[in-house]
A and B are shown apart, each in its own frame.
Chain A
Amino acid sequence: MGRPDGYRYLKTHEWARVEGEFTYIGLSDYAIRHLSDLVFLDLPDVGQDIMQNEPVGEIESVKAVSDLYAPMTGEVVERNDRLIEELEILKKDPWNEGWMLKVRMEKPSEFDNLLDDAAYQRVVDSSE
């Protein structure tokens, strides 16, 4: 599969990984592969509060715009502006370099509600 350890997922293909009191958020390789011709990424500003399962941004390709949903609740402390300028990074490395938001978690236990790798694999399998 190529997915790294320690990541958890929403069924809408967003991932989260925890580092101390923060979580990093991004989009899985599966989602990116299905969004050909990426054109634009709209993410919340630093300082904004986001809530688990609520839409927080949009990723746009030539043919479609998809909502991005927050895997975790908290405050955005950093945004990967370099990614917004160079969307190709998502195709190369959606797991590390392609991080989208760094969030200070408000409810760290939410991480347990997310899909683990095996559960996410089942989502991927049923989507094919």
Chain B
Amino acid sequence: MRYSGITERDRQEMLRVIGVESVEDLYRSVPQAVRMNRPLQVDGPLPEASLMRRLEEMKGPAPRVSLVGGGLYNHYVPAPVDSLAARSEWVTSYTPYQPELAQGTLVMYYEFQTYVCMLTGQELANGGMYDASTAMAEAVMMARRIRKKATDLYVSDAVHPEYRRVLDTYLQFQDDVKLHVLPVDPETGRTIVDIPTAVQRDALAIIVQSPNFFGVIEEGTAVADDAFVISVCTEAQSMALLDPLRADIAVGDMQSFGIPVQLGGPTAGFMAAKKEHVRQIPGRLVGKTKDRLGREAYCITLATREQFIRREKATSNICTSSGLMCLRASIYLSLLGKEGLQDVARQSARAAHAFSEALDEVGLKRVHDGGFFNEFVVDASARPQLWEALRASGFVMGIPLTRWWPDREHQYLVALTELHYPQIRDLIQEVKRHAHDS
């Protein structure tokens, strides 16, 4: 057996020390009646090279060009991120419950918490969530603990549709919560908050995403100052250049910072809030302290909120969350710094804006006129065959919105990142060529 530590001779010695004849004796407490009477039928065993060959055989085509975003973004991952994050001490270490043996991990979480505060403008951030969709659902649960009797929840129609389905799942047994959808202005693409300020103030929460699912920046959105706001950010790179929304809880995804897309998992969600809510926030918290000799040290703190202490009264059931992905994000942010981050964010934005202008030149207009960062919706009804023609040649020009909104025919959500920046003229040429044929 490949990863076994012991040999046959060791096995005999161990059985002798234990005082039994065979390993079967060690299973004497498991009744015969429950035993499997056949071996497990799974593939293998495959030696390493054979395994690699099997995987090669399973590889299918990949797109040549992908302008697909919708909450997950292919960004450049710098070599130092991969290299550092591959170190044994990061990959194979455990949750830092024994701080004396985990100061590396603990300092990293402290940095991650700090980076999330810097980016969101919030006072407090936890050590990560599974992803943004669950972070949003957990934010609503947190709002329930804080807002007590309030039960009216307002969610913008421009919040990621998959996140809203997750929220529905988490809330399905909480019959007292009333969900209201805030409409989107079809021209600007921004959320319309057309409810009286008194109603906003008494609401459980108002959830707004920016840039929203359509890529539009929610600026000037008329949310009352004393409303309880949960803000969502899926393209974290936008936080480099855009001021964060005023929010009581800010959630989102750190995937754009050195975390490969990986079909959407794993990633690292984030949650940030006002410091006064520290006892209501779920997830791990790492704090700075001293050891018994007065030396600076870090440890998990306020664990009394967490499941392993508080059990059924815990703020959530979260145990394992996103460790290694938080590390990748921290390394990425440290490597780029503010200047590098703003530089690469500008490259994403410029690629997207240049591409949008080029599409406009061949009759493919942006659907919304609100400002955008690196993602927008284009109306391709002038060239109905274009998207398919491009796809057939391995160029995926965005996501058909009919996937969620059947009436948005020929509308595509298009995202560009710095990966497209150096080849933008070629991409534009290719699209224009196909557009003339469509």
Contact = CB atoms under 8 A, between A and B. Distances in A.
Interface string A56-90: 00001111110000000000000000000000000
B103 interface: no
Interface string A25-44: 00000000000000110100
B309 interface: yes
Interface in B241-287: 279
Contacts of A63: 304, 309
Contacts of B313: 65
B310 interface: yes
A40 B279 CA distance: 10
Contacts of B310: 65
A61 B310 CA distance: 12
A63 B304 CA distance: 6
Contacts of B309: 63-65
Interface string B289-317: 00000000000000110000110010000
A39 B278 CA distance: 14
Nearest to B304: A65
A108 B300 CA distance: 45
Contacts of A39: 304
A41 to B, nearest CB: 12
Contacts of B279: 40, 42
A42 B279 CA distance: 11
A68 to B, nearest CB: 14
Nearest to A65: B304
A64 B309 CA distance: 7
A40 B310 CA distance: 15
Contacts of A40: 279
A69 to B, nearest CB: 15
B218 to A, nearest CB: 35
A46 B316 CA distance: 30
Interface in B335-353: none
Contacts of A62: 303-304
A48 to B, nearest CB: 12
B286 to A, nearest CB: 15
B303 to A, nearest CB: 8
B312 to A, nearest CB: 12
A56 to B, nearest CB: 15
Given A64-B304, A64-B309, A65-B313, 10 more contacts: A39-B304, A40-B279, A42-B279, A60-B304, A61-B304, A62-B303, A63-B309, A65-B304, A65-B309, A65-B310
9 contacts: A40-B279, A60-B304, A62-B303, A62-B304, A63-B304, A64-B309, A65-B304, A65-B310, A65-B313
Interface of B: 279, 303-304, 309-310, 313
